[in-house]
Each structure stands twice: as C-alpha cells, then as structure tokens.
Structure 1
Amino acid sequence: MTTDLDPAQDLCEHLHVLLRETPQGCSEYQLIQMLKARHSTHIPHLPLKDPLVLFRTHFLLFNALYRLRDQLWAAARGHVSISPLCVQLLPYQAGSQALSEGDTLRDYYLDISHLRDTTEQDVERLLSSFWTRMQGGDEKRAALELFELDQHKALKLADIRLRYRQLVSQHHPDRGGSTERLQSINTAMDILQRYYY
C-alpha cells in the first residue's frame, strides 16, 4: 500500500484488505469495528449513538465501498457486493457494463456533497420520516410479501436473513437479475430487521 494516496483512496485500500481477509463477507457494523480496531484515521472514532456521527461514518464507508467496487470492476479484479447486512468481495465475472449505470444508491454515496451538506437536523428529519412510515405497518406487510413469507407465522430474524440471502443470490444482476429488484430486496430487509430481533 502506497503512502501518497488521498484519504478516500486509502480507505478503499483498507477495505479491500479487510474484505480479502473475510471471504465469507461481513456486516457494515463489523467493517466499522474492524477499521476502528486497526486505528483507521478515515472514519470518526466516536460512539455511533450520535445520529450525525452514525450518518457520517456510514457515508464514508459506503462512499469507499462504491469507489472500491468501481475500481475492481474496471480492472476486472473482482466485485464488491454491498448491503448493510453483508459486504462481500466476490470474484470478477464478465457482464454488462450497464450494471453500474442507473444505480441511485451508488450515485448518492459517490456525491461527497451529501456528506458535507447533511446537517444534524437533516439526519433527525430522515430518521423521523423513516419511523413515521414504519408505524403504519404497511411496509412490514409489503416486505414480508416481497420475501414470500407468511406474516401470521412466527418468524425469527435468522429465518428472514436466510430468505434474504436466497433472494439476493437469485436476483443479483451478476446472475441475470435486475438492480431494481435487488434494491427492493435490500429495502425490504432494512424494514424487517427493525421488527425482528
């Protein structure tokens, strides 16, 4: 690893090392903890209980992950599967270059102005809006339907995670699925993990 890298590129390199060391993949939280354990200077070393610290840590991590994914893909050296529950380095498989186009999450995280311009009040509004939507229960029902799970059956988070992994594997763009469907699956998982512990 060279020492003249800009901070964002240096974080990409750190993440590449960590992902190679965990071939089974790891969660966003685990990645953050591994970076902190290695005394990375590229993420805040503050408690994640503060919403703005959490947002900034999350944003920096996902910005670097999307940059790393683009770099590996362009060099035909691998693919980074990115979701909060599992970030995993996968072998490169030739496919359509269109896979990286039209990805709204990628566009959001690669626009560094979102990190710079998002205030504590913005984060609070995002969280408030999220919880207001969650209280209706319609999203939970819709997420369970997307996962083809019976809402009247006693479910555990382990069951939901297993179904999530099955759906991601089945609908991943590298395997002929669509980016839109994969984003819907990720959104549904984000919703369900708030209800099941």
Structure 2
Amino acid sequence: MTNSHSPTHASRPKAASEDACLDQQIQHLLVAVEHEIRSAPAGMNELSLIKALQKPPWELLGDVVFSEPEKLYPVHFLLFHVLYRLRDQLSEASESLKISPLNIRIEAETVVSGEGVPNSVDTLRHFYLDLSQYRLPEEAIRQMMNHFWAGTPGQAPAQSETREAAEALGFKTIPTDFPTVKKRFRRAVMHAHPDRGGRTETIQQLNQAFAVLKAHFRHSL
C-alpha cells in the first residue's frame, strides 16, 4: 500500500496549486498586456512591455535578471504565451497582433503578405502555447539562447523584424554584410555598458537586435 505522505502524493497538490496560480497570473496578464499594447499604437519592444508589467497598477512580474538566461527565460516564455493567446482572441475581432521581441503591436487584420513564413509562425505558436515548455532544465535553456530572440533555428526573421533590428543598432537600412553588424554591435555594447552609466536592459535589447541580424545573414548565405 502506498504511503499517502510519500513525495509522489505530496507533490501532486503542490503541482496543482502551482498550476492554478500560473493560470491566474496568465488571466491577469492577458488584460494587462492588451491594455499596454493598445496604449502604444506604434508598438513597444519586449523589454518595455516587461517593465510596464512590473510597475503599478499591474505589478504582475517581479524582478527580472536580464543578464541570467535561466532567470529571464520563464518571464519571456510566459509573456509570449500570453501574446499568442491574445493574438488568437484578437483575430476573432478582425485584429492582428504583431509579435516580435523588437516590436509588439495591434493592427487591423489584413491579408497576409509574402513577408512572413506561415509554417514557422505556427511552429512558434505551438511552442509558446505549450505550457510544459515553461519549466525547462537550466541546460536546455542555455542551449536555446543562441537563437532565443530570433525564433526557431530554421526560421529566417521577417523582413520587417530585420529592419527593426538594424534600426536598433543605429543603421538606417539593413546592412549588406555581417562584419559591419558585428563592429556596430560591439561599439554599441561598449557605450551601453553599466560601467559607463548604461543599463543591462539596453544591452539585452542590443543582444536581441544582433541575434535577429545574425539569423538574417545565416539564412542569406
């Protein structure tokens, strides 16, 4: 006969309680995220949205350690889970939600252009809507970080996302070669370093832009 106080039985109520808390947080985030995005018609990047959700009246996200991938990942995943759920809801009202770490915004629904890659988008949606991906081992998270911000390994970023990444690094147009990107990235990170009065969040945003451009040139070869 199994002991009712064994770790297996004890873990079940705890897991159920954690799932209930997570579901409640997601419901609150759905409301807060839609409000914040509608308040920024031109769109906002992921880091700005995270910071908005940390502040009153929401206070739905705690402190985020942007320099530690294993601590940043759960926040990123949860936010994108909410964004993909919100996108599904908005489509019923003939609105579309653009989801990118560099620019998140609500638009009137239009015919899909040839810019995106539908199968890749579906792959991302499937990944972020699968809550089992929320709790990953630390090693798995670290392996993902090389292509974390630019989507799945086999996916080329959309042209609009590549342009936004180039602008984030100070380019007026998409650069023609990757060495130019690396040189600009190193210079930007040097100026944004906390030792020079910069912020870790700024460096993370530069990392996002660099990852998108790196994926762009990898698929251009």
TM-score by length of 1: 0.59
Q: Which whole-Å CA distance do the structure 1 matches of 2:210 and 2:33 have between them?
A: 24
Q: Which whole-Å CA distance do the structure 2 matches of 1:101 and 1:66 have between them?
A: 14
Return 55-64 or 118-127, whichever deviates more. Answer: 118-127
Aligned residue among 196, 199, 211 for 1:190: 211
Q: Which whole-Å CA distance do the structure 2 matches of 1:122 and 1:6 have between them?
A: 26
Alignment of structure 1 residues 20-35 onto 2, 5 Å: 20-35=38-53
Q: Which whole-Å CA distance do the structure 1 matches of 2:63 and 2:121 have between them?
A: 33
TM-score by length of 2: 0.53
Determine whether 1:103 maps to 2:103: no
Q: Which whole-Å CA distance do the structure 2 matches of 1:60 and 1:81 have between them?
A: 17
Q: Which whole-Å CA distance do the structure 2 matches of 1:192 and 1:101 have between them?
A: 17
Determine whether 1:43 maps to 2:43: no
The Cα of 1:39 is off from its aligned counterpart by 5.9
Change (3 A) 1:158 1:60: same
> What does residue 90 of structure 2 align with?
72
Code of the residue aligned with 1:10 in structure 2: it is H
> What does residue 87 of structure 1 align with?
104
Task: Name the SS for the 1:90 alignment partner.
Answer: strand
Q: What's the C-alpha RMSD, in Å, of the aligned pairs?
A: 3.7
Q: Which whole-Å CA distance do the structure 2 matches of 1:46 and 1:90 have between them?
A: 29
The Cα of 1:50 is off from its aligned counterpart by 2.1
The Cα of 1:28 is off from its aligned counterpart by 0.5
Determine whether 1:8 maps to 2:20: no
Task: Name the SS for the 2:171 alignment partner.
Answer: helix
Corresponding residue pairs, total: 142
Query: Aligned residues: percent identity?
Result: 30
> What does residue 115 of structure 1 align with?
134
Q: Where do 5+ consecutive residues of structure 1 fail to align?
A: 132-142, 150-154, 165-186
Q: Which whole-Å CA distance do the structure 2 matches of 1:14 and 1:8 have between them?
A: 10
Q: Which whole-Å CA distance do the structure 2 matches of 1:28 and 1:88 have between them?
A: 11
* Residues 80 and 88 in structure 1, CA contact (< 8 A), matched pair in contact too: yes
The Cα of 1:125 is off from its aligned counterpart by 2.4
Task: Name the SS for the 1:158 alignment partner.
Answer: coil
Aligned residue among 143, 152, 156 for 1:125: 143
Query: Which is greater in Rg?
Result: 2
Change (3 A) 1:188 1:22: closer
> What does residue 56 of structure 1 align with?
74
Task: Name the SS for the 2:37 alignment partner.
Answer: helix
* Residues 70 and 138 in structure 2, CA contact (< 8 A), matched pair in contact too: yes
Q: Which whole-Å CA distance do the structure 1 matches of 2:34 and 2:213 have between them?
A: 29
Change (3 A) 1:42 1:112: farther
Q: Which whole-Å CA distance do the structure 1 matches of 2:56 and 2:127 have between them?
A: 27
Code of the residue aligned with 2:24 in structure 1: it is D
